[in-house]
Structure 1
Amino acid sequence: MMSTQLTLDRIIERAVDLFPERELVTKLPDGSVHRYTYGDAYERICQLAHALDELGLEEGTRVGVVATNHYRHFELYFGPACTGRSIHMCNMRLPDHHFVHTIEDADDEVIFVDPGLIGKVEANADQLESVEQYVVLCGPDELPETDLEPVTDYESLLEGHPTEYEWPDIDEDAEYGLCHTSGTTGLPKGVPYTHRAMYLHSIMCGHVDANGIGESDVSLPVVPMFHANGWGTPYAATFAGAKQVFPSVHTDPESIARLIDEEEVTFSAAVPTIWLEMAEFLDENPDVDISNIDRLTVGGSAPPESLIRKYDEEYDAPIIQGWGMTETSPLGTLSTLRKEVEELPPEEQYEYRSMAGFPVPGIEVRIIGDDGEEVPRDGETMGELQVRGPWVTDGYLDRPEENEQSFTEDGYLETGDVAVRTELGYIDVVDRDKDMIKSGGEWISSVQLENELMAHEGVAEASVVAAEHERWQERPLAVVVPTEGADPTGTELEDHLAETFPSWWLPDIYEFVEEIPKTSTGKFDKKRLRDRFDVVLEEEDTEEAKS
């Protein structure tokens, strides 16, 4: 057989060859709509390739992108990768010290940044020692005043360059991109992705038993493109030749619902909070029609069964739950229905649709119990979920110790997730690393919040656990033992934490106790804390609890 290299230039070239007039649509920050085609995008990607050459970036160099979902970000998904360089998808939601760490860890030489996010970069620029050039993703007339130096705008960077480019021969095992984990147990870890991995992941996303993205689809990736390759949907949709719709900053429920209606979107992907909020909007605005949706992929955290039912019964828009990690590129399982499940009564089908799902083609999974053996497929016996496959990482960037600890001798990634498996092979994740909190699909490190709380002079001990939240699924709840004679308030502690962490990391509730229970090894007993403070938070709980 021919030894054809599986590289990303072949993905974009296929789209241009077969679907040059297929649209790419962006709702810009000012509310206007930008439309162009795969053919137009390809010419600009070629110009970007020449511009990267002119900047003197060597093969393997990483460029960081701090941006929302839009057409210029799409161009950056291909320009660096197809020229033998690598795109580092930067998570601007990380705390500043994590954000800086990821850029320095990646050794980014150029940072591409949205005008609306330039403040995040400016605030940390003096610590970004590897960065030699800043490019603001706008035209010359839109370039904001900035202290970044040297700086140019994206359109000026591209201007005058040829609209054709001879792509170099790239090894399919070369790195094309890099994402970082969210630093739930320490500083974020870099996960390098190869061309081969994303090529195969893109094929899988088109499989009928996966996301089923085809050329007749209209794909709307609400999930940020800095989140594990936008869950792979921009690459998969390009490979298929599907129309794509990018929301940029407009990820509120009304904007998403109207984009689905107006652009006739058939496939979209987002965390449960997006679909929860959109359901409220649709109830109040029955004139907005989303019936053209064939499937909505939900990831980040499990959607409530009531939400799945609502979208089925009221909007005829099936929700498919997915599980994955930054380490798995990210798609690992989907709650698509096997034939045996489709034959069950609807009530029983919902039980399977509420699970993490069935392994997608190409991914092998197993659940290992405390005895080191694979657990029975009884839907009850718990163990650690372990995975392997062609788009599962085989190691973190420059983290030899973590690499030793994270993989089995026979090559499985130890996910740290606790799960059970049913007789039909479905995976149900029943618990996660007990110290992690997932709010609206974003990870929050309880350990780092605890350390910073205990740095306050009025705090002797502090433990942070997840509390169930009606809107965000989980929110941090802080349990605090004051130092003798001190009387700190929740507001005081919040102000202290706000000096280090973004607002969405801050606990919603502060409980003051005389003693925090501990395990036999002297660690905080978080299971007992979760049992003791078993509450469901609402929006109004937050301010009341800080006084």
Structure 2
Amino acid sequence: MKGDMQRWTPNVASIIEHAKELHPTTEIVSRMISGEIHRTNYDEVCVRARKLASALEKDGYKKGDVLATLALNTFRHLEMYFGISGMGAVTHTLNFRLHPEQAVYIINHAEDKIIFCELPFIPILEALKDQLKTVEKYVILCDESEIPETTLENTISYEEYIKDGDEDYKWPALEDDAACALCYTSGTTGNPKGVLYSHKSNIYHATSAYAALTINKDDCILMVVPMFHVLAWGIPYFGPMTGNKLVMPGMGMEGDSLYELIDKEGVNSAFGVPTVWMQLLAYCRENNKVLDSVKNTIIGGSALSLLCLKSLMKFMTLMLSMPGE
């Protein structure tokens, strides 16, 4: 006998659909490679995620295929989190800082079929392409007019790829334990180890994380932690679930760039590793700046010394340090 309460099949796409329905105009702010600020919202991100999912299906990709992202924290990466996983494929986030040998191993071991790649990372893939055994296509994260000459074969711009996707695409029902996302370890003994997340685990984590971190719908989150690092600690899931304004810095990790985003966008919750916050601290010291709006600073990835913690608390009001993952 099975219970009748809350019968549903887990799919992370339900999160972005929820955000579209309840928080359609809430902003997602991205600093692009050019330095320009791009603004979108949950309504637009959801529709574009549907179009991506539809385009992938039309292109012959199916449930269980592993599709990689070599991407920065921007609105397009957020769309891929939901568009790829939502249609049943697995979102594999690649770390662009990996040693070439490790990158080749990871891509081949995961059997990636597509790599969605930022413009600055094309040279990385050009150097590796002859060693990649399963990659069929490279989708460059740019407009049609921006795609450059490259030695990569079968390339297309992201905007051209999703252009003919169906805005009314219907997300499929997935198995209860269906794979959602894939991350590989770094800095471990031997070859990197793959960690395969399910839709259910990501949804359950999201429903508990925002409460544990005292996040509410009125918070504006600066997502500095990379989206290739432990799925950005779950922010791409619990942010839309809660209805948070998301601010994503792209390549702009310098102290002045981060300060500008915090100051102009009204950031009051920020997530990142110690090295980033120390750069921001140095900028604030040198320029006599204080981050009055920030009430929540989540620090993880490595241990933060007591001295650094005390120094940061002079510029931000509340800290939560979570060393290592």
Range into which the TM-score falls when normalised by the shorter chain? over 0.9
- Counterparts of 1:231 and 1:120 in 2: how far apart (Å)? 26
Deviation at 1:213, TM superposition (A): 2.1
Which residue of the partner structure matches residue 95 of structure 1? Answer: 99
Gaps of 5+ in 1: 326-547
- Bigger CA radius of gyration: 1
- Counterparts of 2:14 and 2:324 in 1: how far apart (Å)? 25
1:300 aligns with 2:304: no
Higher helix share: 2
Which residue of the partner structure matches residue 512 of structure 1? Answer: none
Which residue of the partner structure matches residue 62 of structure 1? Answer: 66
- The C-alpha deviation readout for 1:449-492, integer Å capped at 9, x for no partner, is xxxxxxxxxxxxxxxxxxxxxxxxxxxxxxxxxxxxxxxxxxxx
- Counterparts of 1:203 and 1:323 in 2: how far apart (Å)? 22
Of residues 282, 285, 303, the one that matches 1:283 is 285
- Counterparts of 2:296 and 2:266 in 1: how far apart (Å)? 13
Of residues 241, 244, 248, the one that matches 2:243 is 241
- AA aligned to 2:56 is L
SS in 1 for 2:148: coil
- The C-alpha deviation readout for 1:332-352, integer Å capped at 9, x for no partner, is xxxxxxxxxxxxxxxxxxxxx
- The C-alpha deviation readout for 1:133-157, integer Å capped at 9, x for no partner, is 1100001111111011111000000
Which residue of the partner structure matches residue 200 of structure 1? Answer: 204
Deviation at 1:199, TM superposition (A): 0.5
- Counterparts of 2:153 and 2:43 in 1: how far apart (Å)? 33
- The C-alpha deviation readout for 1:353-399, integer Å capped at 9, x for no partner, is xxxxxxxxxxxxxxxxxxxxxxxxxxxxxxxxxxxxxxxxxxxxxxx
Is the CA contact 1:261–1:289 (under 8 Å) kept in the aligned structure 2? no
- Counterparts of 2:224 and 2:319 in 1: how far apart (Å)? 14
1:191 aligns with 2:186: no
Query: Aligned-pair RMSD on alpha carbons?
Result: 1.2
- Counterparts of 2:181 and 2:303 in 1: how far apart (Å)? 27
Task: Output aligned runs, 1:16-35, within 5 Å.
Answer: 16-35=20-39
1:164 aligns with 2:168: yes
Deviation at 1:162, TM superposition (A): 2.3
Deviation at 1:183, TM superposition (A): 4.7
Higher relative contact order (CA 8 A, sep 6+): 2
- Counterparts of 1:88 and 1:97 in 2: how far apart (Å)? 17
- Counterparts of 2:106 and 2:43 in 1: how far apart (Å)? 34
Task: Output aligned runs, 1:76-475, within 5 Å.
Answer: 76-207=80-211, 210-286=212-288, 288-312=289-313, 314-325=314-325
Deviation at 1:19, TM superposition (A): 0.2
- Counterparts of 2:266 and 2:136 in 1: how far apart (Å)? 42
- AA aligned to 1:18 is L
- Counterparts of 2:316 and 2:75 in 1: how far apart (Å)? 30
- AA aligned to 1:255 is S
Q: Which 4+ residue blocks in structure 1 deviate beyond 6 angstroms? A: none
- The C-alpha deviation readout for 1:421-475, integer Å capped at 9, x for no partner, is xxxxxxxxxxxxxxxxxxxxxxxxxxxxxxxxxxxxxxxxxxxxxxxxxxxxxxx
TM-score normalised over the length of structure 1: 0.58
- Counterparts of 1:164 and 1:214 in 2: how far apart (Å)? 30
Percentage of matched positions with identical amino acids: 36
Is the CA contact 1:183–1:189 (under 8 Å) kept in the aligned structure 2? no
SS in 1 for 2:234: helix
Gaps of 5+ in 2: none
SS in 2 for 1:76: helix
- The C-alpha deviation readout for 1:111-143, integer Å capped at 9, x for no partner, is 100001111111100111100111000011111
Deviation at 1:212, TM superposition (A): 2.0
Which residue of the partner structure matches residue 47 of structure 2? Answer: 43
- AA aligned to 2:22 is L
TM-score normalised over the length of structure 2: 0.96
- Counterparts of 1:303 and 1:14 in 2: how far apart (Å)? 36
- AA aligned to 1:74 is L
Deviation at 1:56, TM superposition (A): 0.3
Deviation at 1:7, TM superposition (A): 2.3
Deviation at 1:289, TM superposition (A): 4.3
Is the CA contact 1:112–1:136 (under 8 Å) kept in the aligned structure 2? yes
- Counterparts of 1:323 and 1:16 in 2: how far apart (Å)? 34
Deviation at 1:214, TM superposition (A): 1.8
Higher strand share: 1
- Counterparts of 1:230 and 1:275 in 2: how far apart (Å)? 16
- The C-alpha deviation readout for 1:479-519, integer Å capped at 9, x for no partner, is xxxxxxxxxxxxxxxxxxxxxxxxxxxxxxxxxxxxxxxxx
Deviation at 1:6, TM superposition (A): 3.1
Is the CA contact 1:136–1:151 (under 8 Å) kept in the aligned structure 2? yes
- AA aligned to 1:295 is N
- Counterparts of 1:12 and 1:128 in 2: how far apart (Å)? 32
Is the CA contact 1:206–1:236 (under 8 Å) kept in the aligned structure 2? yes
- Counterparts of 1:82 and 1:118 in 2: how far apart (Å)? 26
SS in 2 for 1:297: strand
> Number of matched residues?
321
- Counterparts of 1:317 and 1:145 in 2: how far apart (Å)? 48
- Counterparts of 1:220 and 1:317 in 2: how far apart (Å)? 15
- Counterparts of 1:177 and 1:253 in 2: how far apart (Å)? 31
- Counterparts of 1:37 and 1:124 in 2: how far apart (Å)? 35
Is the CA contact 1:214–1:237 (under 8 Å) kept in the aligned structure 2? no
SS in 1 for 2:52: helix
- AA aligned to 1:299 is G
Is the CA contact 2:118–2:140 (under 8 Å) kept in the aligned structure 1? yes
- Counterparts of 2:179 and 2:66 in 1: how far apart (Å)? 10
- AA aligned to 1:176 is C
- Counterparts of 2:122 and 2:43 in 1: how far apart (Å)? 30
SS in 2 for 1:116: helix
SS in 2 for 1:317: coil
- Counterparts of 2:187 and 2:294 in 1: how far apart (Å)? 34
Deviation at 1:324, TM superposition (A): 5.0
Deviation at 1:297, TM superposition (A): 0.7
